[in-house]
Amino acid sequence: MPITRPPKAVWNELRWICWNRDKRKCVRCKKRVLFDGFHLDHIISGKYGTNKIRNLRVLCPRCHILRACFRHRGMTAKALASGIIPVNWREMVWEDDQKTILKALGKMGSETV
């Protein structure tokens, strides 16, 4: 999460735009997700993160939790307890490649959004 979070109405609109852009699927595992059931993930969080749509993507709860980002570790215990992730979740953690990160930062040339 970047430092500032947009107002709820704006956030919901961003969710709607990204959900449709990403074809209503988790960009990681390609599983279809419902509007109420997906997580809108900030590719870049913290200081350099923005709420621009190029920095946002649709993830299913499981892929979101399994992202190798310390900011996501807070969700792990709850997800384990509710069975969203298995006990061997550590083997399933994933990371973004450099291309994805540069794109999210708007450093891939023609990206304007």
Task: List residues near Zn ion by CB under 5 A.
Answer: 26, 28-29, 60, 63
Q: How far is the CB of 93 from Zn ion (least distance, A)?
A: 13
Q: Which is nearer to Zn ion, 44 or 63 (CB)?
A: 63
Residue 22 token pair: 């990403």
Q: How far is the CB of 65 from Zn ion (least distance, A)?
A: 10
Residue 30 token pair: 């390609």
Q: How far is the CB of 64 from Zn ion (least distance, A)?
A: 8
Give the whole-angstrom CA distance, residue 22 versus residue 34.
12
Tell me how far apart the terminal alpha carbons of the chain are, to the nearest angstrom. Answer: 18
CA atoms lying within 13 Å on the CB side of residue 28: 24
Helices (H), the chain: 8-21, 61-65, 76-82, 98-104
Q: Which is nearer to Zn ion, 7 or 97 (CB)?
A: 97
Q: Which is nearer to Zn ion, 61 or 106 (CB)?
A: 61
Residue 17 token pair: 């735009």
Q: Which is nearer to Zn ion, 21 or 106 (CB)?
A: 21
Q: How far is the CB of 13 from Zn ion (least distance, A)?
A: 23
